[in-house]
Amino acid sequence: MKPNSQRNIPSGLGRWTGALLLALALAAVSIMTTAELLPAVLAGMGAVLLLLGMTTAGHDARRIKAGIQYRNESTLFTLSRDNEFITLEPGKTWIQLDHYKWVVRGLIEAPQNFHIHPDGTVEIYAEKIKAGDPEGPAKLEQQINKRYASTAASKPATVAASSHPAAAPTSSGKPQFVVKLDHWGHMVIGWGQGLDREETGLRGLSTLIANGLIRKPGTFHVDPMQRGIEIDGVNYDCSEAGAKRLEEALNTRYVIARRSDKGVAIEIKENHAASTGFDIHFTIHRAGVPLEIKGHLSQEHLDTLQDPAKCDLLHPGIHLLLSPPNLLFRRRRPDMGEEKIPELPDVNILHCNAAQLQQALNHPMIRRSAGGAGAAAVRQVGSDSDRIVELRVVRNTADKALLWLECITALGEIKGPKAFTHHNVTDLKQSGLFLPHKEVHLSLDHRRLSVLNRQTHKDESITIDTQSPDEDLRKAGRMLTEALKSVEPRPERGNEPIEATTPPPADTPATGEKPPAASPPGQTVSNEQPSQGSTSSAAATPSSAATLQPELDPTIIALFNETDAVRINREIFRRLVEWLGITPQEVHLSLPFVFENRRFEVLGFEQQEITDLAQLRGVEFYGFYLSHVSEKKIMLVYACNGMHLEWGPDKCVLQPTVKSEAEEYKGSVLLGLVQDQKDEFVFVVKPEFKKWIAPREMPFTEENLQFLTVADIAVAPGEYKLIWPERPKPPQ
């Protein structure tokens, strides 16, 4: 029968406590009977205490101890370390239980698959430990310290690797990378020490490159099922040997030598969640104690950086002013005025990456004792690939009070989305983004946009707000795009009209003229009107353009003829099972107050057993699944790292991350599924969806996804492997 009072029983200590008490009792009896036995008794007590001390020391070597606590009529596990005590209460996650921040302090690693059942059973690392099991505390103690022990055991190997002549030495300050396998057998790249330690999967390699942690390789490709990675033609598979080879390559061939504490006292990293697109990290000293400053690149952090009472990293008199889209570098004069620094131009944060901005802030004209890191790279930022070629006025679901402005580069990347306001448009105009003969103006109430052409004296204007139709927003975007310098005609092809890679939609012309006919994918059309002196060349344009039209494979066009969305979803899932050779899992899951026992067909690439709907919607699931809402409504869902794409017969739902809001596109748009030569998944969609997804595509392309139309596939059918629809088999 269990006692009513709470009781904590640490495993492995009861028997030694009993032995100690027995030894003390024997000693007392011996002393009372005869004094001659006193030396023998003392020797026996010393042996017992020595054995107890050795056992306790061996037990304390484990950072966390496990025990049992009786509460009312239930039995619960406990974890303790010194005076820190945690009761594993049912229904709570590890984050809710970790009051003492054991994971953050590096005492243990975050337990995987951690779950506490109502009966007190603890599930950890795919093992269920029942509270009534006599060996339960020992099992739990082994599991909770399992990851810590493996990390500690791997330290000698890491030290030995870093001492290799080819590896980067620790004293150099270069980032030391550790590559290991997680519990799913996938490679994880870790770097940093203590609280600054970070980890990422193979898909995070592009982030390491963007943040300047490693050199950009010539080519790299991550296997879609995370079975390995290929860098510069060398394949590193997910095995102990492959992880060791990748770790050696990252610490030798791709490590960046300039990342020393002296060279990058001011560190910049890219962060798309920040308003400026960057994070800043530097260290200040207060009362002789170093204090790290980490956060978004903002004027508040820049003020701390240039305050001589708080920070001594910058030269006296340096003034850093964040004036989007520019970061201004100024030097204060004795008369309290300011002047530009000739050696260091202002930086347009829309046209630079983290490494270039970091070089500018560590320039010897800015930073004290800077190791020669200059801003030469920032002067060359305005390359053709980084130039803004299109401006779009869009809605933002996170801020419905204002419209937003997106800047699209020649590579199709979205640079620095910002609110569509009078001040932001003025900043773009002052940065020299628009043609000098075009006057772009947005009213103070952020509603009326006007573009005046001083050469032709033509004034075009439009009034828009958050309630305006999409057609008006597209027209406003075209007005801004036509005023950009990046689409200014270049004398590269004689008298031929300049070509633009992103023609405006045919159904929404910017002016009253009749729109041109839609061109096939890959063909470009002119955005500029021909001059009077180029009548002959303009007349010859249709015939010359016709000769440049790409030839579409009629066989491919004929394959994508299915219109039933439910059949498309079923057939794609069926073909994926055959294509990948993975057996699907059929489960029936429920969501309280929403649905009960709904059928799901799950095709998990990591062979994870699905028992709860939260697993499908979490960040751990990677693969496809079918959700059978009804016979006429079956949705195909693709999930990866918390990103979800839901293809349904009446709508498409996109969610880039678990925390981001989902966006919907009405209608059925999915036509098929293919893979490119790099084995990346390509969703074949309708042209209207392709236009809609274009400004929202970047989070998905970072996860090795593409959205193409049937015409895109038909232009180069040999570049793609059709999953569904299938290619017709040749006759026997």
In order, the DSSP letters of 201-221 are -GGGHHHHHHTTSBPPPS-EE
273-328 pLDDT, tens digit each: 888 888 999 988 765 567 788 899 999 999 999 888 888 888 888 999 998 888 99
Classify residue 623 as exposed, middle or buried by CB count within 10 Å of its CB (0-12, 13-18, 19+).
buried
**64 vs 57: CA distance, rounded Å:** 13
Q: In the prediction, which pLDDT does 376 show?
A: 40
In this prediction the pTM is: 0.35
**582 vs 606: CA distance, rounded Å:** 10
**693 vs 678: CA distance, rounded Å:** 22
Q: Are strands 234-237 and 228-231 parallel, antiparallel or unpaired?
A: antiparallel
Q: In the prediction, which pLDDT does 567 show?
A: 95
What residue type is assigned to position 481 of the chain?
T
**634 vs 614: CA distance, rounded Å:** 19
Show me where the domains of the chain are located.
Answer: 8-148, 154-252, 267-379, 555-724
Strand order in the sheet with 220-222: 220-222, 228-231, 234-237
Q: In the prediction, which pLDDT does 673 show?
A: 96
Q: In the prediction, which pLDDT does 570 show?
A: 95
Name, in order, each residue with C-beta under 8 angstroms of 173's C-beta and a sequence gap of 6 or more.
259, 260, 261, 262
Q: Are strands 705-708 and 681-685 parallel, antiparallel or unpaired?
A: parallel
510-567 pLDDT, tens digit each: 344 444 444 444 443 334 444 444 444 334 444 444 445 568 888 899 999 899 999 9
Q: Which of 264, 309, 261 minimizes the C-alpha distance to 284?
A: 309
Q: In the prediction, which pLDDT does 586 show?
A: 94
**94 vs 115: CA distance, rounded Å:** 8
**27 vs 40: CA distance, rounded Å:** 9
Q: Could you please report the per-residue DSSP string of 67-102?
A: EEEEETTEEEEEEEETTEEEE--TT--HHHH-TT-T
Q: In the prediction, which pLDDT does 658 show?
A: 77
Identify the segments of the chain with pLDDT beneath 70: 1-62, 147-175, 193-196, 256-264, 286-289, 369-386, 398-399, 410-413, 416, 486-550, 730-732
Place of tokens 């009077």: 532
What residue type is assigned to position 395 of the chain?
R
* Tokens describing residue 32: 């009372």
Name, in order, each residue with C-beta under 8 angstroms of 396's C-beta and a sequence gap of 6 or more.
402, 403, 404, 417
